[in-house]
Amino acid sequence: MQSLVNWIDRVDRRVIYALIFICLFIPLVRPIGMPVGISPTTQMAFDKINSLKPGDIAILSPDFTPGTEAENLSQTVVFAHHLMSKGVRIIGLSMRPEGIMYAERVLTQLAPEYGYEYGKDYVVMPWKAGGESLVVAFAKDFQGTYPEDFWGKPTKGTLVNDVKSINDVAVIICMVTGDEMQWYLRQVEAIYKVPVTGGGTAVTIPGLMPFVASGQLTGVLSGLKGAAEYEKLIGKPGRAAAGMDAQSLSHIIVMLFIILGNVAHFYNKKKNKARRAN
Amino acid sequence: MFWKLSAPVLLTFIAGSIVLFNFFVKMPLAESLAGEMLRWDIIVKAFATALGAANLLRIHSRKVQGKDQRTKLLSATLLISMAIYTAIGILKGHQSDLYQFYFRNLFTPLSATMFSLNAFFIASAAFRAFRVRSAQAAVLLVTAFIVMLGNTGIGEAIGKFVPSSKDWVMAVINTAGARGILIGSSLGAIAISIRVLTGLERGHLGGVE
């Protein structure tokens, strides 16, 4: 027993790495199909997008970097699918130079599936420096802040013509890995009352929950699970659903090792106590 | 002394006051002045991005000339990559296929790989560090288990109470804690902003007291 406890206590980290690798790899190759329920925050975000009418304008803002692509890109794709299926016109923009590449890629790839036409149904804005100041600037004057699109062509004559004030935007959807969601909440939702929703990596969600509770954030997708839940709601299982099995199994392995570590810890503690007593 | 200390403090006070005034009072003049300030801010931040790139170039150029072979190689790789990416962006444009190829096939996989390594490190670190050594650690462990299980399909399979418990932890316990932190940090930000506006805080002027 002692040798087993010692092995657990001093298990080589490569064993843990190998097990995590197996748990991530197998479900990606052969999905298990674990059940996915719908959390209240995902339902709120879905209901908000579902309430939009054809012709409404939405800002789709993927504010993430490739590091969190697994979570945030899946969220961007499901929101884009839902918006396009509703006939909502989309403005893709981002506070991050990498994010704008995702906006362009997702919208351009999905546009033919829904018969979306560039300029009329969707546009992509270029990246600009400024961070939170940029949000303030385009909330005050969208057309003045973005006179040209991602391709360097004038935005005049596109759907941007209809954004005379930020209140012409029905919803802002932000996929976030940093503070950008708070920028939209502080500078657009709080001042102009434009609804904000979106998604965040699982680690950013605790910081966003107070805004959901206050009603400022109209629901939020929590990491890969949130995206998988949304895929289920729109009936389009995709990359998030496929990744959920891998994430679930890797979480189980982490929990299993934490339990084993604690068993070994308590066993040794008890043994040391008995030794001291003798 | 005036240009080093008084002038920046005065400029900060004027610019900050205009934007602050415009937030509370709606006046066409304040609106246009604040709008102008914001445009300047965006331009200054664009210069800051360029300054960051220049700084990176300066630091790694020095490292390339250094003696450590490993650092030399890494810094040289960074500089070459930076030069190639910048050249493609300037000459071909960021919409070009070449720029997109570089982003999708080099930058994205490298960045995702770095982030993915966290899964392995966290698993190993959690095993070694997550030991119940006190009552607080036990509370932390139980909460972490509820949230982790609630985020998995297995939690869903065990029963509806698992994801419901996770939702409750996130919506009640977490929100209460996060809101406290948020209010505290916001009060701190307000206090520091007032100190900067009134010239009491001068650390950003190069540590002049």
Q: Are A51 and A83 in contact (CB under 8 A)?
A: no
pLDDT digits (tens, 9 = 90+) for B138-170: 999 999 999 989 888 888 888 889 999 999 999
By residue count, chain B amounts to 209
Q: Which residue of B has its CA nearest to A35?
A: B153
At A207, list the tokens. Answer: 């910081």
Contacts of B107 in chain A (CB under 8 A): 66, 98
In this prediction, residue B208 carries a pLDDT of: 53
Of B109, B130, B163, the CB nearest to A261: B130
At A53, list the tokens. Answer: 């009418």
Q: Which residue of B has its CA nearest to A41?
A: B167
% of chain B surpassing 90 pLDDT: 44
* Separation between Cα atoms, residue B139 and residue B144, nearest integer Å: 9
* Separation between Cα atoms, residue A71 and residue A200, nearest integer Å: 8
pLDDT digits (tens, 9 = 90+) for B97-135: 898 888 888 888 998 888 888 888 988 888 888 888 899
The DSSP secondary-structure symbol of B160 reads: T
Q: Chain A window 240-269: which residues touch B at a Cβ cutoff of 8 Å? A: 244-245, 247-248, 250-255, 257-258, 260-262, 265-266
Q: Is A222 on the interface with B (CB under 8 A)?
A: yes
At B12, list the tokens. Answer: 């900060």
- CA distances to A136, B2, B197 from A178, in Å: 18, 38, 27
Q: What is the mean pLDDT of residues B26-41?
A: 88
Q: Are B56 and B79 in contact (CB under 8 A)?
A: no
Contacts of A207 in chain B (CB under 8 A): 178, 182
Q: Is the predicted ipTM greater than 0.85, yes or no?
A: no
Contacts of B130 in chain A (CB under 8 A): 258, 261-262
Contacts of B45 in chain A (CB under 8 A): 129-131, 133
**Inter-chain CB proximity B145 and A35 less than 8 Å:** no
Contacts of B123 in chain A (CB under 8 A): 16-17, 20, 250, 253-254, 257
* Separation between Cα atoms, residue A197 and residue A218, nearest integer Å: 5
Contacts of A265 in chain B (CB under 8 A): 131-133
Q: Which residue of A has its CA nearest to B23?
A: A191
Q: Chain A window 71-100: which residues touch B at a Cβ cutoff of 8 Å? A: 98
Of A137, A141, A209, the CB nearest to B42: A137
**Inter-chain CB proximity B103 and A37 less than 8 Å:** no
Cβ-Cβ pairs closer than 8 A, A with B, add up to 156
Of A128, A136, A252, the CB nearest to B154: A252
Q: Is the C-alpha dihedral spanning B98, B101, B103, B106 positive or negative?
A: negative
Contacts of B112 in chain A (CB under 8 A): 66-67, 69-70
CA angle A202, A71, B81 (to 5 degrees): 115
* Separation between Cα atoms, residue B202 and residue B204, nearest integer Å: 5
Q: Above 70 in pLDDT, residue B207?
A: no
Q: Which residue of B has its CA nearest to A222?
A: B151
Residues 6 or more apart in contact with residue A250 via CB below 8 angstroms: A20, A23, A24, B119, B123
**Inter-chain CB proximity B170 and A130 less than 8 Å:** no
Q: Are A196 and A91 in contact (CB under 8 A)?
A: no
Strand partners for A90: A58, A122
- Tens place of pLDDT per residue across chain A (278 aa): 778 888 887 888 899 999 999 988 888 888 888 888 899 999 999 999 999 999 999 999 999 999 899 899 999 999 999 999 999 999 999 999 889 999 999 999 999 999 999 999 999 999 998 899 899 989 989 999 999 999 999 999 999 999 999 999 999 999 999 899 999 999 999 999 999 999 999 999 999 999 999 999 999 999 999 999 999 999 988 889 888 888 888 888 899 989 988 988 888 888 888 888 87
Instruction: Give chain A as a 3 state SS string.
Output: CHHHHHHHHCCCHHHHHHHHHHHHHHHHHCCCCCCCCCCHHHHHHHHHHHCCCCCCEEEEEEECCHHHHHHHHHHHHHHHHHHHHCCCEEEECCCCHHHHHHHHHHHHHHHHHHCCCECCCEEECCCCCCCHHHHHHHHHCHHHHCCECCCCCECCCCHHHHCCCHHHCCEEEEEECCCHHHHHHHHHHHHHCCCEEEEECCCCHHHHHHHHHCCCECCCEEHHHHHHHHHHHHCCCCHHHHHHHHHHHHHHHHHHHHHHHHHHHHHHHHHHHHHHHC
By residue count, chain A amounts to 278
Q: Is the C-alpha dihedral spanning B16, B22, B27, B29 positive or negative?
A: positive
* Separation between Cα atoms, residue B82 and residue B64, nearest integer Å: 14
Of B18, B13, B35, B15, the residue nearest B194 (C-alpha): B13
Q: SS3 of B131, please?
A: coil
pTM: 0.89
